[in-house]
Structure 1
């Protein structure tokens, strides 16, 4: 059984890799059959580390992730829900909002599931409305 400390360690390793723009390290904590689902992303849910790495390569090209501040974590036996406040830039725009080098701040919700000592599913929800509003502000 995975402990809460093990969950935190895997999530911290994963998010540190995202912040370092290292897609290979970001997926190194995943199971071979991981389901990766960013709600609203054009591909929909994807399966496997290679498909998840493709997502992170696209994300790294589109978003300069500068900070992820932990708000709260709720634990279950084999899963946890983590709320963050993220800060970064979308120099190429976001969902129809114009490109901008201004920093945006938005909420993210991650739902992680674990099998063994790896992440078997990651589901991400983000406040796209807050991102678009900040990028579109005059």
Structure 2
């Protein structure tokens, strides 16, 4: 892939994320996708269907206001993208901060491996220190995370 082709694919992936278009995001991946959100409790995921739940929850928990590109690096079959994201977070479980919420601006780093015209691996790192400094922690004595709300709805 050329740099322009890599940019188009990754930009399309990010655009689908910005519009909470689950099927659009999944269309940018290979069937055997490897996905890892470092720090997330969901661990590494394999395959499009395994990633579906991660993105569904992410779309429920995040409301973006803007993204500022910082840098991109390219190599044979991979692209590294660094951005700064601003928005409101209902539950920061996606980065290991279950129940933390509020408005935040933080950096994130994506490492994409590309095969054919699709993304075959996506790894994400978040500036958790910046998130901890800006978000409100859950109320002490309560789980306060999205999983607790889902559990209550399921059991009720």
TM-score (norm 2): 0.80
Which piece of structure 1 moves more, 62-71 or 107-116?
Answer: 62-71
Is 1:18–1:65's contact at 8 Å kept on the other side of the alignment?
A: no
1:76 aligns with 2:75: yes
Moved over 6 A (4+): none
Gaps of 5+ in 1: none
Partner of 1:88: 87
Partner of 2:147: none
Q: Per chain length, whose mean CA-contact separation is higher, i.e. which structure has more relative contact order (CA < 8 Å, sep 6+)?
A: 1
1:7 aligns with 2:9: no
Deviations 1:55-100 (A, max 9, x none): 1101011111222211000000100111000011113455146433
Gaps of 5+ in 2: 138-156
The Cα of 1:25 is off from its aligned counterpart by 0.6
RMSD of aligned alpha carbons = 1.6
Report the CA distance shift for 1:98/1:32 in structure 2 as closer, same or farther (over 3 A): closer
Partner of 1:63: 62
Q: 2:101 aligns with which of 99, 102, 116?
A: 99
Name which one, 1 or 2, has greater alpha-carbon Rg: 2
SS at match of 1:68: strand
1:130 aligns with 2:130: yes
Q: State the alpha-carbon separation in 2 of the partners of residues 53 and 66 from structure 1.
A: 23
Is 1:19–1:66's contact at 8 Å kept on the other side of the alignment?
A: no
SS at match of 1:84: strand
Is 1:38–1:124's contact at 8 Å kept on the other side of the alignment?
A: yes
Partner of 1:116: 116
Report the CA distance shift for 1:43/1:97 in structure 2 as closer, same or farther (over 3 A): closer
TM-score (norm 1): 0.90
The Cα of 1:32 is off from its aligned counterpart by 0.7
Is 1:19–1:67's contact at 8 Å kept on the other side of the alignment?
A: no
SS at match of 1:85: strand
Aligned residue pairs total 134
